[in-house]
Structure 1
Amino acid sequence: MSPFPQRRGRRNTGNDVSEPVTPDRSNGWKVWALFAYAFCMTSGYVSCRTVGDGLFLHRLGAEKLPAMYLVAAAAVGLGTFLYGKVAARRSLEYVVAATHVTLAGLTWWLEHLTRTHPDLTAPIAAVYLLAELRGALGSIHFATLLHEVFPDGLPAHVPALSGLGSTLAGMVFGVAIGLVTHAVGAPRLLEIAAAMDLAIAALLSALATHLIKARRSGSPANDASARPAMMETPPSLLHVTTKDDPAGAAATSGTEGHNGPGGSEEPAATGDLSATPRPPRNWRSVPRAARWIATIVVLRSFLVLLVDFHWKTVTDVVIDATPSAEASLTAYFGWFYGVLFALTGLTQLTVSGTVIRTLGTRRSAAVFPSATLLVVLVAALFPTRWMLWGAMTVKVMDVLRRSVADHAIQLAYRAVPEPDRRWTIAVIGGWVKPTAEAIAAAVLIEHTALGHSVTWLRALIVLCCLMWLVLTLHRPRRKRSSNTPRAVRT
């Protein structure tokens, strides 16, 4: 049975003749194939992520995390750059399959080193970097496969259905890791990631025939690089109208349609995508909406890194002092990520769209810093024995970032004029975000070197939240046109 909704609609042809539109039942297997890819990809990521976090905190310590943040940002940037060079010269199915076979070999080798040589530090750092690289490449692969598998146009509900494989995998494997880690040992869990890589390679072999046929038919594939984070849009956002301009300038009024994955009005996919992006001459010529988004992305990068370091530092202090700390840390991360995926999926399916429709783009972006600020202030009052619960609650607010704030920021790209939109997306994703993460890591390195307390770290989190709230809740006055009659000015 095809997972496509059985709906009938009407469309207007060039001769203004109305005819029924029925879903293509032959596309059902494509959705399930993408679902399987998302499931296997996320399963491997969660397995590698939990082992990397657990081994790193136990064997190297939380004080080494800031330096690893800095190295990881550079490694992911270099890795994705090299991947882009290779992908431009070879077919997609070959590149994705070869990437996962390589990841499988590296993962099995690192599993052997971490298990047989526990005194070596380089393999532990390599596992952590491998988890970061898996997350980055997995997102790129999924977004690209969506458009290669549907070269004639991506139905808006396909990413929502296939993306559920990622949520399901995070829940299932997070809980499973929490249950079996003490029995098998943390390093052994890397074998799950390697096995999932080989499963993806087999899946790509099955998809290869279809992809080759699509290319030979001459159907133009969509430009996946121009659509950021499309797989993350929840089903509840598939029909959201942008109510306000996040930068204080009016957005296009009366615009309504599929704002979710594959919709014709996705911010990055609107306008002439074949045109070369034009960079502005100077900072003042950058559209106000683009400056607003860039500033929000900088604050988000700082806040996410600060909260992550705060949480893992407290976790290292509390759990690493227990017997069998390595297995306990890995099991804890497994349980936590499983719950986080479950809460994120539930929030996306139920309240994300309602929040953004009710509050609008600008105020929706303030939900995450508002909740984080409140929880940080309350957690500061917790007694020492509840310190881990306080840090964990602050980290759980990441659910609101993933399910509400990130999608509000995606919708905010609509306010950027079409000629500047692709340039804005490329610069923010390729330069602004990595640079902000590197600066935040440098701040944390200085924090660790000076021996500042957790209180100082909480103060930085509060500062970032307040700056974010001021930026999102303050609306600058719009310039009035001298030709506009006073009676109609707003």
Structure 2
Amino acid sequence: MFKIPTYERSTVLLLFAFSLVIATSYIVARTIGDSLFLSRIGNEHLSLVFVLSGIFTAIVASAWYLLTKKYSVATTIQVSSFCFAAFTLTAFVLLPKYHHSFWLLAAIYLMADIKGCINAINIVLALNTKLGREASKSAWTVVGLAAPIAAVLAGGALALESAVLSIQTWLIVGMCLDVVAMAIGFGLKYQANIKAVLAVGSDQASSTTKPTAFKIPDYHSPLCSKAKTYVCSDKFRKWIGILIAAKVIVLTILAFEWKSAANTVFEGQTTSLVQFFGIYYGVVGFATIVLQLLLTDRFLSGKRLTVPVILMPAMLLFVSVSIFLSPSVVIVLVFATIGKSLDAWRRSVHDTTLNFLYTRIRRGQRRFAISLNSGLIKPLAEVAAASVIFLGTPVAYRSVLAAVLLLWVFAGYRLVRLVKSTDKITEAKQSTLFSNLVIRLNAIFRSKAKEDGRRIHADPIDGQTY
């Protein structure tokens, strides 16, 4: 099903393992953080912790951006994983004594958000650094399968074992996963990227011998085979930044609606909330795998960008209107869960397409754009959304939800248009170069024929002789 060249397999294996581990760790941390805070603190302070989450995530992510500029992605992975493991161990020690402390439970909740943000930066940087434009599209697809597989495994385990395993046990599981991620980061430090492998051959990537010619197999189909010209980095950063900001605002408001409704419906019972969230992550993870296998590979061809980028906000418009008109909290939970279930599409197609689009700007601008969007724009958008929730009424933030969804659609349209217009310019230039080459060759042949005393009448475009 996936034709991954031999020289890519070790890199893909490490990236797959890293994505699997950090996704599992995040789901465990997210489920435990949500369940503990909602069951022991309640909905009344949820908007406040959303604001705190955005502020602290923005601060940490800004510092992380400076770190990624100075150190390699493997080093940042090791540092972040160590910090997450240390915090989880601290929470494990303090939770039995301060089991209803707002600040401890808020810190556990915030750490899940910070972990998601930092690990998102790490995996996107790792993909663009180790795979980049030169890797096959199957490599990107396989690595993208790790997160939904993790969701199925972690979600299923949380749903089935939540009544047996204690919260402290799950904290230890999360800490162990962070330690494994740190070890994988050490392995990535010594793993050559695909560009280096292609430069010297798969069997010479780590040697100092003289590079030899390396024949790329026929099935090697670079993701950017249709994107040999880079797009304007300023316009790209503008529209993808607006898109990500709009997306984060929408998903934050939707997450608040979903968590609040779930806590109300399940009456703040920790075990019930863990089971509900676990089932959700498992089902969405399975759906993501199906979509990843059936659709992602096709959409990554680079030509069909409209559906991957714009379909999700269009569907969420229907969800937002339904939530706005819902007469009861149970109906709100149903439609909010439907909206959250679109994460299957987001993770398998939408986000994968956006991550791939980063390869359309130059390498020097790529790291800056990724860190800016994931590390600064995303948390600031979370603060903006949380502030609307904290200060506004349900009618107010639901109206904001619908308005920002329209902005998401528009930004996606402009981003797709930018990429496609660049492709058209590239194709036009290639066509012009080919035509000029044919004309030059015909001129040479005619000159040669004249010297030999022969007259060849050739069409200057298609080269037909008559």
TM-score over 0.5 (shorter chain): yes
SS of 1:195 mapped into structure 2: helix
What is the aligned counterpart of 1:388 among 321, 325, 333?
333
Cα deviation, residue 142, structure 1: 2.9
Work out whether 1:305 is the aligned partner of 2:252. yes
Cα deviation, residue 196, structure 1: 1.0
8 Å CA contact retained: 1:110, 1:127:
yes
Give the whole-Å Cα distance in 2 for the aligned partners of 1:72 and 1:28. Answer: 38
Give the whole-Å Cα distance in 2 for the aligned partners of 1:294 and 1:204. Answer: 28
SS of 2:35 mapped into structure 1: helix
Give the whole-Å Cα distance in 1 for the aligned partners of 2:85 and 2:52. Answer: 22
Tell me the amino acid that sits aligned with residue 394 of structure 1: G
- The residue that corresponds to 2:230 in the other structure is 270
8 Å CA contact retained: 2:76, 2:122:
no
Tell me the amino acid that sits aligned with residue 195 of structure 1: C
Work out whether 1:400 is the aligned partner of 2:367. no
TM-score under structure 2 length normalisation: 0.70
What does 1:88-107 correspond to in 2, within 5 Å? 93-107=74-88
Cα deviation, residue 443, structure 1: 1.0
CA deviations 1:396-450 (Å, max 9, x no partner) are 2333333444456567779989999887766655554443332222111102xxx
Work out whether 1:441 is the aligned partner of 2:366. no
Work out whether 1:329 is the aligned partner of 2:266. no
8 Å CA contact retained: 1:80, 1:137:
yes
Cα deviation, residue 56, structure 1: 1.4
SS of 2:99 mapped into structure 1: coil
Report the aligned-residue RMSD: 4.3
SS of 1:312 mapped into structure 2: helix
Cα deviation, residue 319, structure 1: 1.2
- Bigger helix fraction: 2
Structure ID, larger Rg:
2
8 Å CA contact retained: 2:134, 2:222:
no
* Cα 1:376/1:55, change in 2 over 3 Å: same
SS of 2:3 mapped into structure 1: coil
What does 1:75-154 correspond to in 2, within 5 Å? 75-86=56-67, 93-146=74-127, 154=135
Cα deviation, residue 334, structure 1: 1.5
8 Å CA contact retained: 2:41, 2:100:
no
8 Å CA contact retained: 2:121, 2:375:
no
- The residue that corresponds to 1:320 in the other structure is 267
Give the whole-Å Cα distance in 2 for the aligned partners of 1:218 and 1:64. Answer: 62
CA deviations 1:224-274 (Å, max 9, x no partner) are xxxxxxxxxxxxxx99xxxxxxxxxxxxxxxxx744xxx46679x9379xx
Cα deviation, residue 388, structure 1: 2.4
Which stretch has the larger CA shift, 160-169 or 189-198?
Answer: 160-169
Give the whole-Å Cα distance in 2 for the aligned partners of 1:473 and 1:159. Answer: 24
- The residue that corresponds to 2:3 in the other structure is 5
Give the whole-Å Cα distance in 1 for the aligned partners of 2:283 and 2:27. Answer: 12
Cα deviation, residue 173, structure 1: 0.8
Give the whole-Å Cα distance in 2 for the aligned partners of 1:320 and 1:162. Answer: 38
Tell me the amino acid that sits aligned with residue 24 of structure 1: T
What is the aligned counterpart of 2:402 among 442, 459, 462?
462
Cα deviation, residue 353, structure 1: 5.9
CA deviations 1:151-196 (Å, max 9, x no partner) are 9954443232233222211110111011111222234311111011
SS of 1:347 mapped into structure 2: helix
Which stretch has the larger CA shift, 93-102 or 168-177?
Answer: 93-102
Work out whether 1:24 is the aligned partner of 2:3. no
Give the whole-Å Cα distance in 1 for the aligned partners of 2:276 and 2:370. Answer: 36
Cα deviation, residue 119, structure 1: 2.3
Structure 2 runs not aligned, ≥5 long = 194-203, 211-218, 422-466
Structure 1 runs not aligned, ≥5 long = 7-22, 220-237, 240-256, 278-285, 479-490
Tell me the amino acid that sits aligned with residue 191 of structure 1: I
8 Å CA contact retained: 1:258, 1:266:
no
8 Å CA contact retained: 1:361, 1:409:
no
Tell me the amino acid that sits aligned with residue 310 of structure 1: E
Which stretch has the larger CA shift, 346-355 or 155-164?
Answer: 346-355
Tell me the amino acid that sits aligned with residue 445 of structure 1: F
- The residue that corresponds to 1:372 in the other structure is 316
- The residue that corresponds to 2:289 in the other structure is 345
CA deviations 1:330-351 (Å, max 9, x no partner) are 2211211222222223223223
SS of 1:118 mapped into structure 2: coil
Tell me the amino acid that sits aligned with residue 307 of structure 1: L
Give the whole-Å Cα distance in 2 for the aligned partners of 1:155 and 1:374. Answer: 36
Cα deviation, residue 312, structure 1: 1.0
Give the whole-Å Cα distance in 1 for the aligned partners of 2:141 and 2:31. Answer: 26
Tell me the amino acid that sits aligned with residue 320 of structure 1: E
What does 1:52-63 correspond to in 2, within 5 Å? 52-63=33-44
8 Å CA contact retained: 1:290, 1:416:
no
- How many residues are matched? 398
8 Å CA contact retained: 2:121, 2:370:
no
Give the whole-Å Cα distance in 1 for the aligned partners of 2:187 and 2:119. Answer: 18
CA deviations 1:331-381 (Å, max 9, x no partner) are 211211222222223223223566788995346533112212223434535
8 Å CA contact retained: 2:192, 2:206:
yes
CA deviations 1:112-148 (Å, max 9, x no partner) are 2223321222221111122122222223333444466
Cα deviation, residue 80, structure 1: 3.2
Higher relative contact order (CA 8 A, sep 6+): 2
SS of 1:115 mapped into structure 2: coil
SS of 1:117 mapped into structure 2: coil
8 Å CA contact retained: 1:293, 1:412:
no
